[in-house]
């Protein structure tokens, strides 16, 4: 690993690679141990070199956007966490089409659209994180997903190539994107919006209103589980008596049972235990296995199994 660090650092004079970097400040749940190595390249070229070298050396690589949908374990996370936080530019190609870096924050994009009188992404109001993370998980609400606005996506592939895909060549479904199967980094996307109409403001308000009913004030990562087909994970969790369950400082919100909150000093292991407890309760009472929406990065057993 020391040799890898030296190789990486000598190939990347413009990207600082740090060791033992605390991950909790980088994740909205405020938990997680330390990344053995951590880097946040500030250009796609530097990202390409870094990702390539790490893949060639068989170093475990974890791509981190805004950290609003991830849970790293406590302790040392072996390998390198590569953040997109410094890939954050937006370039308008036409009045309605932009090339947007993966690390561009979704709330900043919403603001930019509002200022330009553009619409189409009202459903994303209040979703934190980056565009890269949103595409990787097809983030959305109310039956809509970010994939609806995407024209093209540029990625760095595990074999070292840079690929540009038309959106038609990517498959998406509810909180799923085929780009997340296998190791790659989404580095930018071309997106097209539309000119806003007066009714778009009402639609936006209705999404914000719905957000207002969700827990706030304590750190969380949004919904813990995906909704099973034709059902609501929150409702199933509520009916299974999960509200208020806690492990250490991790607690299931009593406002919305699909939210796990960090009351202050939760450990990742507390949150993981609570996720498993909730999942087990729903399984025991309904026979339904909930699929986590949160991504568990860096755990020695990457499969979520109860």
| Residue 133 interacts with ligand FAD (CB under 6 A): yes or no | yes
Active-site residue flag, 112: no
Options 70, 121, 147, 266; binder of ligand FAD; rule CB under 6 A: 70
* CA terminus-to-terminus distance, the chain: 33
Residue 132, both tokens = 């890269």
Please classify residue 251 by burial: count the beta carbons closer than 10 Å to its beta carbon, then call 0-12 exposed, 13-18 middle and 19+ buried. Answer: buried
Q: Which two three-digit tokens encode residue 217?
A: 């004030």
Which of 30, 120, 128, 292 touches ligand FAD by CB under 6 A? 128
For residue 139, the minimal CB distance to ligand FAD (Å) is 3
59 in active site = no
Q: Give 228's DSSP letter.
A: P
Strands 172-173 and 176-177: antiparallel
The token pair that represents 221 in the structure block: 């990562």
Q: Is 186 in the site for ligand FAD (CB under 6 A)?
A: yes
The footprint of ligand FAD on residues 201-230 (CB under 6 A) is 220-222
On whether the CB atoms of residues 242 and 225 are closer than 8 A, the answer is: no
CA distance 10 to 54: 13
Q: Pick from 90, 295, 304, 306: which binds ligand FAD (CB under 6 A)?
A: 295
298 binds ligand FAD (CB under 6 A): no
Chosen residue from 67, 120, 292, 298 binding ligand FAD by CB under 6 A:
67
- The catalytic position among 27, 36, 122, 175 is 175
Query: Closer CB to ligand FAD, residue 59 or residue 286?
Result: 59
Number of neighbouring beta carbons within 10 Å of residue 153? 27
Contact 149, 191 (CB under 8 A): yes
Binding residue (CB under 6 A) for ligand FAD from 30, 33, 120, 129: 129
Q: Give 249's DSSP letter.
A: T
Kindly list the catalytic residues.
175, 223, 293
Applying CB under 6 A, the residues found at the interface with ligand FAD are 28, 63-70, 84, 102, 127-130, 132-134, 136-137, 139-141, 175, 185-186, 220-222, 295
């Amino acid at each position: 690993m020391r040799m890898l660090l030296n190789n990486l650092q000598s190939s990347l004079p413009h990207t600082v690679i740090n060791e033992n970097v605390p991950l909790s400040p980088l994740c909205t749940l405020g938990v997680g141990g330390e990344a053995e190595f951590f880097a946040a390249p500030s250009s796609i070229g530097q990202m390409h070199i870094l990702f390539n070298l790490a893949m060639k050396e068989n170093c475990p690589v974890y791509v981190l956007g805004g950290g609003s949908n991830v849970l790293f374990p406590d302790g040392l996370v072996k390998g390198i966490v590569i953040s997109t936080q410094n890939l954050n530019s937006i370039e308008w190609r036409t009045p309605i089409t932009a090339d947007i870096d993966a690390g561009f924050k979704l709330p900043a994009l919403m603001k930019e659209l509002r200022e330009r009188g553009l619409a189409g992404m009202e459903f994303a109001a209040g979703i934190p994180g980056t565009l890269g993370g949103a595409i990787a998980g097809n983030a959305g609400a109310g039956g809509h997903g970010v994939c609806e606005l995407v024209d093209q996506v540029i990625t760095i592939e595990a074999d070292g190539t840079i690929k540009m895909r038309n959106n038609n060549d990517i498959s998406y479904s509810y909180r799923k994107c085929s780009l997340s199967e296998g190791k790659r980094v989404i580095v930018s996307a071309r997106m097209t919006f539309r000119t806003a109409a007066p009714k778009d403001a009402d639609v936006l308000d209705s999404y914000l209103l719905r957000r207002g009913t969700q827990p706030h004030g304590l750190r969380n990562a949004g919904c813990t589980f995906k909704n099973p087909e034709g059902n609501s994970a929150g409702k199933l969790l509520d009916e299974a008596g999960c509200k208020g369950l806690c492990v250490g400082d991790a607690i299931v919100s009593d406002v919305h049972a699909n939210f796990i909150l960090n009351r202050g000093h939760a450990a990742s292991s507390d949150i993981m235990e609570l996720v498993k407890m909730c999942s087990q309760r729903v399984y025991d009472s309904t026979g339904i296995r909930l699929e986590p929406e949160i991504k568990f990065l860096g755990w020695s057993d990457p499969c979520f199994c109860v």
